[in-house]
Structures are given as structure tokens and as C-alpha cells.
Amino acid sequence: MNTSTRSKQEVDRWCDDFESLCRARGIRVTPQRLAVYRVLAEDRSHPKPESVYRRVRERVPGLSQATVYRILEFLEREKLIKRVSADDGVGHFDANLASHQHLVCRVCGRMIDVSVPALTNARVPSVTGFAAEELDIRIVGRCRQCARLKAGRRKPLEPSDPD
Amino acid sequence: MNTSTRSKQEVDRWCDDFESLCRARGIRVTPQRLAVYRVLAEDRSHPKPESVYRRVRERVPGLSQATVYRILEFLEREKLIKRVSADDGVGHFDANLASHQHLVCRVCGRMIDVSVPALTNARVPSVTGFAAEELDIRIVGRCRQCARLKAGRRKPLEPSDPD
DNA sequence: ATTCCTGCAAACAGTTTGCACTACG
DNA sequence: CGTAGTGCAAACTGTTTGCAGGAAT
């Protein structure tokens, strides 16, 4: 099983839920929004806007980059997707709203979903003077491929979306 | 006490350590590097390159932005400072290498150091096929100021470096 | 003296915006 | 039909790079 995609049936279900949730909330459902959401639902690799754009465009030819940015920002504001924190300075998005953590390779930047029970169940600490809502946990290290390489090479693999 | 600065004596000590560590490692010590490091040591607010530039420039007049970027990247590579993950798409840096967490306000973006024992002591989980090295934990919520404001206002306060 | 660092300015990459047009509900 | 969404292109912000001169060891 390819770890960076989801099964078609799961994706279909997510998209159906997405569509009904939008309608219920009075959010307009456009082909562009549906397509952006679907690409995110299919892709576990936390793609960047540019990569979302490339893939959505194959299905919605006229699509413009600006629209992708606007949709991603909008869906994030509506809490229908999440923006995941990364230190490469570019946005990464995730349709998986369930509590989980990310393995982050410090060499290639790849980000892989995991769910470590001890962390998923960790209580959000109470801190005075701060309304803590959730924990965002990244496990930083080296992925299998990068761990093999001897130090020295700078960028053995391209970041998150190699395609 | 101002939570976003460190005492002069502590800063001096950090800078001394920094300088001797550089000499020991054969890293050239330039006024620019020293000044960038000092600004980071003084500032607990995880400043962006632009804000580091502004402050360092007051002390090193000729300084160019490119140099700040180069120094930040260099110091990070040498593990003398850390780049902290943020989702505003711009780099944020931290001279505090001790294990700690960040409170991140989802409204204004402010990032505050905390050390929650339960999290600081959390064991780095072992994940097959991944050489896990450290945990990067962000506690996301609303800071005191932003928690007070009723929903509606978009950006009550400016992100991390208001000055 | 040699090697590495810095300043400058231009190039770049990612993201945002104004405006006219289109389409969802 | 009205409002909100989209496409296009230009503007912007943050960051990187090439090169010539300068400084640290």
C-alpha cells in the first residue's frame, strides 16, 4: 500500500461528507473547491499549494493559482482542512483532521503521518494566561532513505512533493 | 520582568560561550555573527530575519540583509541556534537550545517559551523505519490578549515582532 | 597569505490583490 | 437575480545568489 495516497472509496466518502457539510453550512460548492479538497483527501503527503495546483489543474483546466491559494485559505478558516507547520517556509496542507503527529525528516523535509498513542492521548496542559486548545507534535529525525546516507550530501531527496 | 528579553548578564554569558565554542570549532568570529547571535540571545520572542536585521543594524551600521540570512542559516547548520516551526510562512529563530515547548497563539501568531515537565520529559517514541531524534511540540491556542477579544476581529495584534 | 565572509544589487519563489466576468444557490 | 467565487496579471514579501572587495586567522 502506498502510504501517500488514500483508497478511492475513502476519498469518495470524505468528499461526500465535505460536500454535505458545506451545503449544511451554506458554503457554496464549486467544482474548484471540490477538486482542491479531493486532491488533499487523496494525498497524505501534506502537499504545497503549487503541487495541489498542478494536480487539480489536470482535472479543472482553467484553474488559476490564485484560486488555489484562496480556496486553501478559505477551507482552513472554515476548519475543513489544516495547515501544517513546516520550517521550509512554504505552506503545507492536510485534509486529515483526526489527531495525529508528523514524522519530519530533517534532511529531505518529508512529513509522514503517525499516531503514537502516548502522544495522541497526551492531555493538553493547562498554562496560566493562555487558552490552550491543542497540541501540535512533530517527531523530528531522519527517514529511512536519508538515514542510510552518510553525512555530507546536502539534499539527497527533494522535499515533500517530489513529483 | 519582561518575558521577551533576557538579563544582560545571562546574555553576556551566552555570547562568551558562543564565542569560545566558535573558536574551539574553528568557526570564524566576525562582528556580524556576534551581533546576530547577541540579538537572538537577548530576544525570547523568536524573531524573524527582518526584525533581527533591524536590531543588529543599529549596532553594525553597514550590515546587509543577505548577511543576516546567511548567518542565520549558517548558525542553524552549526546547531548554534534553532529554526522554529511556524505556520506564517516566515522563518523564526531561537538561541535557546534547551528542550522546551512553544505556546502559539492562533490569532496573533505570538510564540511564547514554556517548559511543561510532562512534555519536556516525554520520551521520543521509537517508530520503525524512522530515526527519531527529538520532539517538537507546540501548544496551540489563544494568548491572554487575544482570548479576551470576541470572535470577529481578524488580527487584533501583530504577529511575533510587533516593533 | 589564504580562505572565508560580507555588501550590494539583481534574481527568485511563494503568496496576495484589484478588477472584470462567471456561476452557484 | 444577487452575491460570492474565479481568472488573469501585476504587485509584494521574504529569501537566495553572483560577484568583487575586505577581514579573520
pLDDT band, residue A89 (cuts 50/70/90): confident
Say yes or no: Cβ of B47 under 7 A from any atom of strand D. no
Q: Which residue has the cell 517556509?
A: A89
CB contact under 8 A, A85 and B90: no
Which of A117-121, A156-160, B101-105 is predicted least confidently?
A156-160
State mean pLDDT over B72-97: 94
Dump pLDDT digits (tens) for A27-84. Answer: 999 999 999 999 999 999 999 999 999 999 999 999 999 999 999 999 999 999 999 9
CA distance A5 to A3: 6
Percent of chain B with pLDDT strictly greater than 90: 79
C-alpha distances out from residue B76 to A76, B71, B81, Å: 30, 8, 5
pLDDT at B150: 59
Dump pLDDT digits (tens) for A98-145. Answer: 999 999 998 888 899 999 999 999 999 999 999 999 999 999 999 998
Sign for the CA dihedral angle at A54, A58, A64, A69 comes to: negative
pLDDT at B60: 96
pLDDT band, residue B161 (cuts 50/70/90): very low
Which of B 69-128 have CB under 7 A of nucleic chain C? 70-71, 74, 89
Distance from CA of B7 to the nearest CA of A (A): 23
pLDDT at A155: 46
Sign for the CA dihedral angle at B84, B112, B86, B56 comes to: negative
Chain B positions touching A89 (Cβ under 8 A) are 89-91
Q: What is the pTM of this model?
A: 0.89
